[in-house]
Amino acid sequence: MEYLGRELKQMATNVDFNYHPSCERMNSIHICFADDLLMYCRADLLSVRLMYATFRNFSEASGLQENTEKSFIYIVGVTNHTKQRIIEELRFIEGTLPFRYLGVPLASQKLGVNAYLPLIEKITAKITCWSAKVLSYAGRLQLIKTVLFGVHAVLFGVHAYWAQIFLLPKKAIKTTEQHCRTFLLTCDVTISKKALVSWANICLLGAAGGLHVMNLCTCNNATILKLLWDIDRKKDCLWVQWVHSYYIKTGDIYLVRIPSNASWVVRKVLEARE
């Protein structure tokens, strides 16, 4: 992908090419991870033609081709006539937001509760798999701690992966807790309102009479604070550089006013300063 980056950088010197309005200050045109590639520019026909022609040159030189069945184009802020001309030019399927990238949904606006259904479905699927096994109470507790919430390895927990990116809705957190509570106490997947012990007590430390299961809301707030710390300290990160370029600028991260045009994720991170 280094070769593609050089080609796109050279293309950007063309007077007919226009950066995406939210990426011009960073001179950013693409992001890639493994075999996933995102490219973006202003939605005008000349810029799109130049960008796609550059990608085709890369494909011919490297032998790497796009999968047309999995490739989509997302266009906003232009007339329907312009949109149709661009779609006809590229012949890609028009996608809709939010779309999934690296396992999580991406959107320009705040995500609704339905967007978090894949998280709940993943947890339910794991519980269903475990229910087929004759697990002891201690075994179910250990699986909840390590696999679902990642209390000992936060980066690998199903819930923790999402919680490190978004401030999860309370309803999504509550539903997740209900599934896990029912599984822990009954080894079943159907949510039951009957509980021998409240989930709040289960999340207490062992010394306080609990089972030391991670509190999802507290964990989520902590990970959002980590994003705030990243914005303040990790200036080598592309996302952090972008936030500083468009929102923080030369101000103090703890004093700057939250811009009205900031994305909902950035707003939630900056609100965590309190």
Per residue in 155-175, pLDDT tens?
Answer: 346 677 787 888 888 888 888
Predicted pLDDT of residue 151: 47
- Model confidence at 131, pLDDT cuts 50, 70, 90, reads low
Domain carrying residue 264:
221-271
Indicate the residue among 96, 128, 161 that finishes a domain.
96
Q: Is 257 exposed, middle or buried (0-12, 13-18, 19+ CB in 10 A)?
A: exposed
Is 74 inside any structural domain?
A: yes
If asked whether residues 65 and 123 sit together in one domain, one would say no
Q: For residue 206, how many C-alpha atoms fall within 13 Å in the half-sphere facing its CB?
A: 0
Task: For residue 73, give the H/E element and its range.
Answer: strand 72-73
If asked whether residues 213 and 235 sit together in one domain, one would say no
The answer on pLDDT for 138 being more than 90 is no
The Cα–Cα gap between 257 and 239 comes to 19
pLDDT tens column, 22-49: 889 899 999 888 778 899 999 999 999 9
If asked whether residues 122 and 165 sit together in one domain, one would say yes
pLDDT above 90 covers what percent of the chain? 20
- Model confidence at 183, pLDDT cuts 50, 70, 90, reads confident
Is 32 inside any structural domain?
A: yes
Predicted pLDDT of residue 156: 46
If asked whether residues 43 and 63 sit together in one domain, one would say yes
Predicted pLDDT of residue 144: 82
Chain CA centroid to CA 174, Å: 20
If asked whether residues 27 and 66 sit together in one domain, one would say yes
Mean pLDDT of the chain: 84
- Of the candidates 76, 59, 57, 80, the one whose C-alpha atom is nearest the C-alpha of residue 68 is 59
Is-contact 224 269, C-beta < 8 A?
yes
Question: pTM of this prediction?
Answer: 0.76
Tell me the H-state helices in the chain.
2-11, 45-62, 80-90, 117-131, 137-143, 158-163, 170-186, 199-202, 216-233, 238-243, 264-271
Is-contact 90 73, C-beta < 8 A?
yes
Take residue 252 and report the two structure tokens written for it: 């103090």
If asked whether residues 208 and 225 sit together in one domain, one would say no
Mean pLDDT of 94-113: 81
If asked whether residues 59 and 157 sit together in one domain, one would say no
Is 195 inside any structural domain?
A: yes
195 or 102, greater pLDDT: 102
The Cα–Cα gap between 159 and 216 comes to 8
The answer on pLDDT for 94 being more than 60 is yes
Is 203 inside any structural domain?
A: yes
DSSP string, 165-233: TS---HHHHHHHHHHHHHHHHHS-SS--S--SS-HHHHTS-GGGTS--PPPHHHHHHHHHHHHHHHHHH
If asked whether residues 124 and 203 sit together in one domain, one would say yes
Is 102 inside any structural domain?
A: no
Take residue 265 and report the two structure tokens written for it: 């994720």
Indicate the residue among 53, 71, 96 that finishes a domain.
96
Is 57 inside any structural domain?
A: yes
If asked whether residues 147 and 206 sit together in one domain, one would say yes
Is 107 inside any structural domain?
A: no
Indicate the residue among 40, 71, 96 that finishes a domain.
96
Is 105 inside any structural domain?
A: no
If asked whether residues 124 and 159 sit together in one domain, one would say yes
If asked whether residues 15 and 62 sit together in one domain, one would say yes
Predicted pLDDT of residue 96: 86
What angle, 0 to 180 degrees and rounded to 10, lies between the N-to-C axes of helices 117-131 and 170-186? 0
Is-contact 196 185, C-beta < 8 A?
yes
Sign of CA dihedral 103, 106, 111, 112: negative
Q: How many domains is the chain partitioned into structurally?
A: 3
Predicted pLDDT of residue 51: 95
If asked whether residues 82 and 33 sit together in one domain, one would say yes
